[in-house]
Amino acid sequence: MTAPISVRLCPDGPLLVRGADSVTDDSGVEHLVTRPVVALCTCGKSRRKPWCDATHKAIRKP
Amino acid sequence: MRVPKQRGPVSGWVCAVMRGHNGPVPALAAGSVINDADVQLALWMIYELHYRGFDDVPDDVEWTLSLIQLRRDIEVRFEAELRAATAPLPTVEEDLGQQVLDIAEADRGPSLALFLQREADAGQMCDYLRERSITQLKESDPHSFVLGRLEGLPKVALAELQYDEYGGGRLDRLHARLYAQALQAAGLDPTYGAYIDQVSAVTLATANVMSMFAMNRRFRGASMGHLAVFEATSSVPCRRIAAGLDRLGFPAEVAVYFEEHIEADAVHEQLAARDICAPMAADHPHLSPDILFGAAVCLYLEGLAGADLLTRWRPEARVAS
């Protein structure tokens, strides 16, 4: 039995995903998960998609 | 590593005690201890006995009472200076996790990372790598001292964060090791403590504050607030530094450390703020001001360290600290 996958949306931030083995992006490319928790980009501006690179902060700035 | 070279009477006294001499604990001169390389080195050496120690010092010197007394004297002065520099602290808000992230966002100091990305020459980049080696070659080690003092969700989240810092079960992903490899690839000395005799007082202070917060239980809130802001001010600067390394033609292995931290710290800032600081404050509301103190201290000292380097490199430019 595999551990359950959990997903949490951070306000104005990424999705935190625990327990996933891989993430498939919007082009169908599979990215292996190599750390205990990963942050997925939700703002669409990350340069390391599907991973969050904190670019959302620059967008939020007035 | 061996005992560093003394930088004045206080670190000189610590060196002597470590070699077996005895004598009254030296009094500290008036003035800033943050900018006093002699005092900061003395404190760094005393803390180091709890980490890796020194090849030429017996292990049981760790708990020499006069060293502990000097450590306490310096910590009292260090804390007072940090309290004054960060006063008044903001009022605690309902969502402390978000508040800590907002404090990190308020960073409007001169950008060291921007300079490294666009303007620094190779020598200045190496200068930066050397200064930062003091904290990064024992990256995350201070916070491991805090783990045993937490409970519930904050403990689970810190353990999860530390596991990632320590490579997630893979030696080749151990962050401190990635930093050593970056130093080596840049043609610098990757040996632990190699640059201790050269780094600035403020660099030593940025390392010492993490140990002070981590090794005093009363500072557990401050330690986690500091961690959250440290993580939340890391991803974007690491992206800039990686770009600067690329611009200067450094080998790709140097940038690996920074590339790793773009992604890792985008995760860690969320963990530290929302899963460590916020539930810690919910469980123990009296820790909230301490968490904000640690957050403010991180911003203050990292700002000083950045300004210190920019001033060293561009003495003609006026850098506000």
- Asked if B263 lies within 8 A of A11 by C-beta distance, the reply is no
Average pLDDT, whole number, for chain B? 95
Q: What angle do CA B289, B291, B296 make, to 5 degrees?
A: 90
> What are B5-18's pLDDT values in tens digits?
999 999 999 999 99
pLDDT in the model for residue B315: 73
Q: What is the largest CA-CA distance in chain B?
A: 53
pLDDT in the model for residue B321: 43
Chain A, nearest residue to B166 by Cα: A35
- Taking CB atoms and an 8 Å cutoff, what residues of chain B touch A21? none
Chain B, nearest residue to A16 by Cα: B267
Gap between the Cα atoms of B64 and B219, Å rounded: 23
Gap between the Cα atoms of B200 and B35, Å rounded: 8
> What are B217-261's pLDDT values in tens digits?
999 999 999 999 999 999 999 999 999 999 999 999 999 999 999
Task: Flag the least confident range among B76-90, B95-109, B113-127, B219-233.
Answer: B95-109
- Asked if B105 lies within 8 A of A61 by C-beta distance, the reply is yes
User: Across residues B19-39, what is the average pLDDT?
Assistant: 96
Q: Does B61 touch chain A if contact means CB atoms closer than 8 Å?
A: no
CB proximity under 8 Å: B 67-106 to A: 98, 105
- Asked if B160 lies within 8 A of A36 by C-beta distance, the reply is yes
Q: Does A38 touch chain B if contact means CB atoms closer than 8 Å?
A: yes
**Band of pLDDT at residue B107, cut at 50, 70 and 90:** confident
Pick from A37, A48, A51: CB nearest B271? A37
- B78, B43 contact by CB (below 8 A): yes
> What are A19-59's pLDDT values in tens digits?
999 999 999 999 999 898 999 999 999 999 999 999 998 87
Gap between the Cα atoms of B39 and B71, Å rounded: 10
User: Across residues B83-91, what is the average pLDDT?
Assistant: 96
First to last CA, chain A: 47
Q: Does A39 touch chain B if contact means CB atoms closer than 8 Å?
A: yes
pLDDT in the model for residue A59: 79
- Taking CB atoms and an 8 Å cutoff, what residues of chain A touch B262? 48, 53-54
Q: Does A13 touch chain B if contact means CB atoms closer than 8 Å?
A: yes
Q: Does A47 touch chain B if contact means CB atoms closer than 8 Å?
A: yes
Gap between the Cα atoms of A62 and B165, Å rounded: 32
Counted across chains A and B, CB pairs separated by less than 8 A come out at 58
- Taking CB atoms and an 8 Å cutoff, what residues of chain A touch B235? 53-54
Residue with the larger pLDDT of the pair A36 and B75: B75
Four-point Cα dihedral B291, B241, B265, B94, nearest 10: 40
Chain B, nearest residue to A17 by Cα: B267
Lookup result for tokens 């850098």: B319
CA-based nearest distance B292→chain A, Å: 20
Architecture of domain A6-60 in this structure: 3-Layer(aba) Sandwich (3.40)
Q: Is B155 exposed, middle or buried (0-12, 13-18, 19+ CB in 10 A)?
A: middle
Query: Is the model's pLDDT at A60 over the cut of 80?
Result: no
**Band of pLDDT at residue B317, cut at 50, 70 and 90:** low
Q: Does A21 touch chain B if contact means CB atoms closer than 8 Å?
A: no
Domain boundaries, chain A: 6-60
Looking only at the bridges linking them, the beta strands covering A15-18 and A6-9 are antiparallel
Please give the domain boundaries of chain B with CATH numbers for all domains.
9-85 (no CATH), 91-313 (1.20.910.10)
* pTM, rounded to two decimals: 0.95
DSSP 3-state assignment of A16? strand
